[in-house]
Amino acid sequence: MRAGHSDVDAIIDLVTDSFQHLAVSVWLVPPRHDRWAVLHGHVRIHIEHAMRYGYVHVTGDRLGVAVWLPHDRRLPPPADYDERLLKACGHWTDRFRVVDRLFAAHHPRRPHHHLTYLAVHPERRGEGIGSVLLRHHHARLDAAGIGAYLEASSSPSRDLYARHGYRTGEMFAVPDGAPLWPMWREPYLAVER
């Protein structure tokens, strides 16, 4: 189901909880005692942007979320991004800018929807919640003949996306080596035509 504005805080908490232990998150904010708060502020910027310009789907119990941004038209950046990034990330802002530049350098130029976040409550992982969320939006993309793109930040997530038809591009990494895999999924109906 499509998320409503009353879901935003719970979504931000869920994404932050799900992403705080990833290698790229540890690189972004090395001190564990700072990481959750900094990531929470950063995630807020992107969730609020997606609520306005993208698709934010949640499960009925709010234990899973998929956040998509359409890149099949000109998409504005998040409002007041530089100021909000500095306020949210403080001392760690430059690291977030490095990751922004890396993502931009590897981002495809052809029309697609970008999966910016897929998060499932830690106690419910492995139950197929992420797969349900992926299939839901993939059906829309397949019907419209639009591809999907994402950056996988762990081997298990890369494997999950591969099971859903994503092909892995050339790995890139943050300066200290946390790997990221760009992945592309062709729309199935467009392939069958």
Question: Which residue ranges form the domains of the chain, and what is each CATH number?
Answer: 5-192 (3.40.630.30)
Q: Rounded to whole angstroms, how far apart are CA atoms 106 and 126?
A: 29
pTM for the structure as a whole: 0.93
Q: How large is the greatest C-alpha to C-alpha distance in the chain, in angstroms?
A: 52
- Is 193's pLDDT higher than 50? no
Residue type, 182: P
Q: How far apart are the first and last CA of the chain?
A: 29
Q: Are strands 179-185 and 64-70 parallel, antiparallel or unpaired?
A: unpaired
- Condensed to tens digits (0 to 9), the pLDDT of residues 114-161 reads 999 999 998 888 899 999 999 999 999 999 999 999 999 999 999 999
What does the alpha-carbon distance between residue 121 and residue 176 come to, in Å, rounded to a whole number? 28
How many Å apart are CA 148 and CA 70, to the nearest integer?
Answer: 9
pLDDT digits (tens, 9 = 90+) for 99-113: 999 999 999 999 999
Say how far apart CA 147 and CA 3 lie, in whole Å: 22
Q: Which residue has the higher pLDDT, 52 or 192?
A: 52
Cα 71 to its chain centre, rounded Å, is: 14
Q: Record the tokens describing residue 54, joined without a space.
A: 């993208």
Q: Where are the beta strands (DSSP E) in the chain?
A: 55-58, 64-70, 112-120, 147-152, 167-168, 172-173, 179-185
Give residue-wise pLDDT tens across range 28-75: 999 999 999 999 999 999 999 999 999 999 998 889 999 999 997 788
